[in-house]
Structure 1
Amino acid sequence: MAEGAKATRKEAMWWTGWFVASVLLVLTLLYFYYLFPGQDIGPVQPIYFSHRIHAGVKQINCRFCHPYVERSEHAGLPEVEKCFFCHKYVIPMHPQIVKEKQHLDDKVPVPWVRIYFVPDFVKFRHQPHMIAQIDCLRCHGEVPSMDRLRRVDFQMNFCITCHQEKKAQLDCYLGCHH
C-alpha cells in the first residue's frame, strides 16, 4: 500500500512540475509577444527623435510640430528651424542636435521616414477631426509614451466605430473615399 501511495505522490509531483513548467513557458511567450520592450518600435529615423520626451515629458502640443494638421490633408512636419526655437539653447551640442543643425546650415530638409499611411482610395483630412476635437491619441496611439513611433494599421472598422460613437458622417463617398 505504501508503494502505491509513493507512486501516486511521485506522479502528482511529476504532473505538478509539468504544469508549472508549462505556465512559465506560456508566461514567457506572452512577455515576449506583448511586453518585450524592443517589440515593434517603429522605423529608424535619420535623426533620433523621442516623442516620449517632447510630447510626454515636455508636454509639447502636437500642433507645435505638426503645423498643418488643421488646414491640410497631411499634418506635416516642422521645418528644421522650428526645432531650434528650443535647441539653440537646450542641449545644442548633443550629437543628434548637431546632426540636425547641419541640415539647418545646409538648408536641406531632414529626410524623415513616413510612419502613417492610409490607402490611396482613402481621402483622409485631419481638419474635420480637429474641429470635432478628436484627440490625436485616439488614432495615433500613446505617442507621449513612445520614443520611436510605431505604425498604426488604420482599419475601416476603427473609423466606422468612431464615426458612429461621435455621430459623424458615414457617407463613404462624400467623406472618406474617392
Structure 2
Amino acid sequence: MAPDFLAISPNNKIPAIVDPNGPGGKRVSVFESGAILLYLGEKTGKFLPAPLIERIPVYEWLMWQMGGFGPMPGQVHHFIALENEQDRAYGLKRFMAETRRLYGVLDRRLAACEFVAGALSVADFAILGWAWRHERHKVDLADFPNVQRWYDAMMARPAVKRGMEAKLD
C-alpha cells in the first residue's frame, strides 16, 4: 500500500481521482465510483439534475448499481476464473441467476423510460460500466430488449465511444 495512494483512497482500491481545481480552487481527492460520479455531476452541472425531485431516481438507480449491478456481475467474474469445478459451478449458478434477475429489473425500468432516471444521468454511466461486460456475464441482451435499446444508445454516444477506445496505462 503506497502511502501516497492511501492518502487519496483509504480503501486502497481504484477508482480514485484528484481534482487540482476542486471547490474553492483547492485540490480535492475523491474515491469510490459513486462518489466520483456525484462529485463530477455536481461540479460540471451535467448528468445530475438540479431539482431534488429529479435527482431522486438518479440516486436510486446509482445506489442500485453500486449495491447490486456491480457486485453480482463481479462475483460472476470471480467464479468464472476458478479452477475448482465444484466451487466454480456453485458460484456461477448462484451469481449468474442474480445477475440475470438484475438485468430483468433494469429491463422493466427501461420499458418505462429512455434512461434509468428519465434523463441521461450519472446512474446510466455507472450501470454501463458493468453492462458493457454482458457477454462475460453470459447475458444475451436479446433476452432484455429494453436493456439492448438503452445499451445501443449509450454505446453510440461519441464520448462513450472515445472512452471505450482509450488506452489505459
Q: Could you tell me the TM-score, scaled by structure 2's length? A: 0.25
User: Quick check: which one's helix share is greater?
Assistant: 2
User: Quick check: which one's strand share is greater?
Assistant: 2
Which structure would you say has the larger RCO, counting Cα contacts within 8 Å and 6 or more residues apart? 1
Greater C-alpha Rg: 1
Q: Could you tell me the TM-score, scaled by structure 1's length? A: 0.24
